[in-house]
A = this chain, B = another copy of it.
Amino acid sequence: MVEKKDNKLWGGAFSKQPRADVIDYCAGFDAKSFAALDSFLLPYDLQVNEAHAEMLCGQGILTQRELSELKAALNEARKKGVSLEGFEDVHSAVEHFLTQRTPAGAKIHSGRSRNDQVATDTRLYLKDHAQRWVKDLAALIGQLERTAATHAKTAMPGYSHHRTAVPYTYGKWLQAYAEAFKRDVQAFQQWIELYDVCPLGACAGFGTHFPIAPAITAKKLGFAKPFSNTLDAVQQRGEAEAAYVFCIVRAMNHASQLAETFMVLSMPGMELFKLPEEFCTGSSVMPHKKNPDFLEATKAKASLAQASLLQLTDATKNAFTGYNRDSQWTKSALFRAQVECEPMPKLMADFICGVVPNNEKLAALCEPLDATARAEKLAMEKGIPFRLAKQEIEKQLKEADTKRKGTKI
C-alpha cells in the first residue's frame, strides 16, 4: 500500500523513505479488507479435488473421460480463480464451478464430505506454510549469525532486570536470538512430522460405503500417511491449527524481544543503536519524530498471535464428540495470525542488517561493569569463597558511592 503522494502527512525530515513492505506490515487491515477466509484454501481445495477425482477414477467410480473433463475444469479454475460470492464455502463454490463445466462435477462428491475436505485443505495449507516458516526463519538466522560474526567484538553491556550487568558483545547478543529462532525452526519441523497425515476419505468422520482408497489420495497429495481412525481425522479440527499457531507464537515472542530491546536501546537519551530509517515512520504533528513502527507492529502481532492461540486451544476444549460447527471459527484465528505474522522473518533480517550500533556509547556503558569479574578474580587469587569476595567488592562500591555523594554536596 502506498500513501498517495500529495497527501503524505509526514516524512519531510527523512533521508530514506519507508519501504512499501514495511508500511504494509505496519498498516494491518486498517485501510484494506481482509480476504474471505476460504480464499486462502482455494488452491489446496483444487489440489484435493484433483487427487480425489484421480482416485475415484482408479477405483472405477469415475470414467477416464469424466476425469479428463474434471481435470480440465480444475485447470480452468486454477487460471481464472473461483468466485466465492453467494456460496457457503470454497467447497460448494468449487463443486458448482465444476458442475457448470461437466456433468461429472455432480459425481465428484462421492465418498467424501465437506468435513474431510476442509480438514485436508487446511492440513495442506499448514504444511505448505510451515515449510515457508522453516525457510524464512533459516534466512533470518543466517542474517543474525552473519551480523553476529561482524560484531563478534563490538562491546555491549549484558543486561539483567533492565540493568547493565557485565560486559558482553553485540555479536553474542545477536547469536542468542539466532539460537532461539533455531528452536522455532525445529518446532515447525516437529509440527510437520506430527501432522503429516491425510484426513481425506474420513468423510463426515465415519467413513463411506463407496470403495475409496485413502492411502492413494494421501500419497498423491504428498502426505506421509493416511488417517488411521475416521472420527479422529475430522473431530480434532483446531488441534493442528493450535499447534501451528503455537509455533508462530514462539517465533513472534522471540521477534518481539528483539523489537522491545532495540526500541528501548535506541531511545533518545540512550541511543545505543541507530535504527534504519526505512523501517520508521514520522508524525502528522511532530516534524522531528522518527517512530520505530516496525518494532511496535511486531510486538502487537506477537500479542495477536497469542490471542489467536487462545481461540484455537479453546476450539477443541470441552468439545462434544464429532464435527461441530463451532470449529469453523478456527479459520479466522489461524489466517489472521498467519497473514499478519508471515512477513516478520524477512523484514526482521533486513532490519537487523540496517541497525547501526553506536560503538562508543556501548563501550562506555560496559566500563563500570567489571565488579563480578573483580570478585571472581579476588576469589580465585586469595582462594576464598566467591561470596566473601563479592562482599568485599560490594563494600568498596558502597564506599565509592558515599564518597561521590559527599563530593556532590
Answer whether A13 and B283 are a contact pair too, CB < 8 Å, given A35-B33, A37-B28. no
In the complex, A127 has a CB within 8 A of chain B = no
Q: Evaluate contact between A313 and B28: CB separation under 8 angstroms.
A: no
Scan A116-127; emit 1 where CB is below 8 A from any B CB, else 0.
000000000000
Q: How large is the interface on A (under 10, 10 to 19, 20 to 34, 35 or more residues)?
A: 35 or more
Q: Evaluate contact between A268 and B180: CB separation under 8 angstroms.
A: no
The residues in A between 349 and 396 inclusive whose CB is less than 8 angstroms from any CB of B are 361, 365, 368-369, 371-377, 379-380, 385-388, 390-391, 393-395
Q: Evaluate contact between A397 and B13: CB separation under 8 angstroms.
A: yes
Scan A270-309; emit 1 where CB is below 8 A from any B CB, else 0.
1010000000001111111111110011011111101111
The residues in A between 221 and 256 inclusive whose CB is less than 8 angstroms from any CB of B are 228-232, 235-236, 239, 243, 246, 249-250, 252-254, 256
Task: Give the copy number.
Answer: 4
Q: Evaluate contact between B29 and A37: CB separation under 8 angstroms.
A: yes
Q: List 18 A-B contacts (CB under 8 A).
A: A3-B92, A4-B96, A9-B92, A13-B398, A30-B90, A107-B386, A162-B320, A165-B283, A166-B286, A172-B229, A175-B229, A176-B231, A204-B285, A267-B270, A287-B372, A288-B397, A296-B325, A332-B336
Question: Which of A69-77, A134-142, A185-193 faces chain B?
Answer: A185-193
Q: Evaluate contact between B1 and A86: CB separation under 8 angstroms.
A: yes
State the CA gap A254–B321 with chains docked (Å).
Answer: 10
Q: Evaluate contact between A316 and B168: CB separation under 8 angstroms.
A: no
Answer whether A324 and B172 are a contact pair too, CB < 8 Å, given A7-B99, A270-B269. no
With a cutoff of 8 Å between Cβ atoms, the chain B residues found around residue A52 in the complex are none
In the complex, A152 has a CB within 8 A of chain B = no
